[in-house]
Structure 1
Amino acid sequence: MGTVPPMRALLVVNPKATTTSERSRDVLVRALRSEVDLTVEYTLRRGHAAALCRAAAESGVDVVVTLGGDGTVNEAVNGLMNADAALAGRGATPAYRLPALGVVPGGSTNVFARALGLPRDWADGTSVILDGLRDGRHRVIGLGRADDRYFTFTAGIGLDAAVVRRVEQARLRGRTSTPALYVRSMVAQFLSGEDRKSPPLSLERPGESVESELSTIIIQNTAPWTYVGDRPINPNPQASFDHGLDVLAVRRLKVSSTTRTVTQMASLKGDPHGREVLRLHDQAEFAVVSTRPQAFQLDGDYLGERQKVHFASVPQALRVIC
């Protein structure tokens, strides 16, 4: 009898990952090479991780591992999902047609990895992946899709995305991404007064009445929405990789009601509510339409301005080693 060939794996490394060093990357490579036939690629530009992962999936790689933050994970997921059409017949759902995904946290926040219950430390995260490879352990999760782009944990239109835009602009000026930077950016954006008097957003669902005059909308594919340091922020505590999408919308950004909503989101229980709050659970699809261009983000990555985005839940999308 012949020996079973080792699993083929691709490691995608973001060399700008903020919490890893060249030494830690070398340790990770050696550890993975002890278990799989490994190819290592370093991202060179925006979109490179997506191209690498799509090519890997189409070539029959068994596992894709990312070392980076949520942006690297998002690109990898989009690369994998965009390869799915070429893999018809390999399985009943994308999760069993596509390579499994392993995530080693290397960014400043790592919301996706932490939502999966993975360790924050890259060394401990590597151990989880190695154990999962040996034991064949994985979890099947659903994704969200915004038009033709997939997301793992969150999307946002309005205030949420405008804050992400401010943070990215600050980072381009050399600032470090910290919880304090996000808080200052949120306060500055809120005080700018944009969209406080004439909320531009509407939410349209099949067979339901339109929800209009919304100022900002947060969409979640899992909980929490994000973290401030070690504290999870939970606009929609029931959101889950195992269900459809959850929505939190704020109607008017009044100082008193918005302060109350933010305080509720930051509490241990989460569960924001009130006259200005709209929440929807386990949604299969909907569209967000705006009377004027609005900031738009996916998985904490600012993607410009939009006036209409169609959102859908994509169940049974990926196998994740955890």
Structure 2
Amino acid sequence: MGKKALLILNPLAGRKRGEKLINKIIRIFTDHGYEVLLKITAFHGQAIDLCQHCVHEADIVVPIGGDGTLNQVIQGMMNANIFKPIGFIPAGSSNVFSGNLGLPKQILRAAVNVVEGSAIPLDIGFLNDRCFSFITSFGAFSNTSYLTPQKQKNKWGQLAYVFQALKDLPSIKPIHAKVITDEYVFEDDFIFGSFTNSLTVAGIVRLDHSRVDLADGKMEILLIKYPKNAVELSRTLTALRKKEYDPRIIRFHSTANATVFTPKGTEWSIDGECAAWSEPMTITIKQKLINFIG
């Protein structure tokens, strides 16, 4: 029997780019000897159920959509406890995850990359019982992705997140948080905190690549202290741009786990989607849990 590819398409992602090219995508897979099982999401979050109930039928699973679609597919595998190689075709607005791996931005090239590529193991993070492929965060801009209207995402791509973030600036308030790792305890007023397995934070802040490994069993913590005045804000922005993590204003640390206490109702996000608050938030990383074809 031939190989079987489970394609899970989010038809609304990124100006409907994946939907427009789906027949050509299928042709690429069939030309390379795959039998294709296509599932199309009809509502937000359905990719979890589609993957969970169909993953056992496939040799590889191929989400076609944005970072949120990929997150849901991974969550579906977790729920089913069946782990198959993932070949991602990025068809969303920002595609942060694919940028981490240097995947082709052009959809049909990405499809060819899946059928001709080889699998590499990558770490997967967990916020309580939810997985994340590249980030979970709280504070300023954490809700930018899921509050940005889909029409703006389709029109402006990643710039839409910047526009939304600028709108949020006047309302930014400090969040008193306590972050506990095996090595350190950080407690202060922060405007932002992220826990990533990524070369960038939300595709906007670039991390020092020499200090990031996507398969080392560790995540990177970035905590930005609340700037009390314009001078401190300027120093913070300069430090981020130069990747100079001055501990007086920015905490940067790698760890395998973290326990985070934030005030009740603090907004959290996970791979650009809204995440429910709890106390505490437990964040862990599992080394080389998923194989990605790239």
Assess, with a 3 A threshold, how the Cα gap between structure 1 residues 22 and 147 changes in structure 2: closer, same or farther: closer
**Deviation, structure 1 residue 42:** 0.2
**Deviation, structure 1 residue 160:** 3.1
Gapped regions of structure 2 (runs ≥ 5): none
User: What's the TM-score, normalizing by structure 2?
Assistant: 0.89
Assess, with a 3 A threshold, how the Cα gap between structure 1 residues 61 and 179 changes in structure 2: closer, same or farther: closer
Assess, with a 3 A threshold, how the Cα gap between structure 1 residues 116 and 234 changes in structure 2: closer, same or farther: same
* Matched letter for residue 282 of structure 2: H
| Contact 2:128–2:281 (8 Å) recurs in 1 | yes
* Deviation per residue, 1:118-163 (Å, 9 max, x gap): 111101111111212xxxx110111111000011111111113133
Partner of 2:44: 46
Distance 2:153 2:258 in 1: 38
Partner of 2:236: 261
Distance 2:154 2:122 in 1: 34
* Matched letter for residue 79 of structure 1: G
* Matched letter for residue 190 of structure 1: L
* Deviation per residue, 1:196-226 (Å, 9 max, x gap): xxx3211012464453433320111121223
Please say if 1:119 is aligned against 2:90. Answer: no
Q: CA RMSD in A?
A: 2.3
**Deviation, structure 1 residue 316:** 1.6
Distance 2:223 2:68 in 1: 24
**Identity over aligned residues, as a percent?**
21
| Contact 1:15–1:42 (8 Å) recurs in 2 | yes
**Deviation, structure 1 residue 252:** 1.5
Q: State the number of aligned residues.
A: 289
Distance 2:14 2:272 in 1: 15
Of 167, 170, 187, which residue of structure 2 is paired with 1:191?
170
Partner of 1:10: 6
Please say if 1:153 is aligned against 2:109. Answer: no
Q: SS in structure 1 opposite 2:231?
A: helix
| Contact 1:101–1:320 (8 Å) recurs in 2 | yes
Distance 1:55 1:236 in 2: 39
Q: SS in structure 1 opposite 2:283?
A: strand
Q: SS in structure 2 opposite 1:200?
A: strand
Please say if 1:297 is aligned against 2:278. Answer: no
Assess, with a 3 A threshold, how the Cα gap between structure 1 residues 304 and 23 changes in structure 2: closer, same or farther: same
**Deviation, structure 1 residue 292:** 3.1
Gapped regions of structure 1 (runs ≥ 5): 88-97
Of 24, 28, 47, which residue of structure 2 is paired with 1:27?
24
**Deviation, structure 1 residue 77:** 0.8
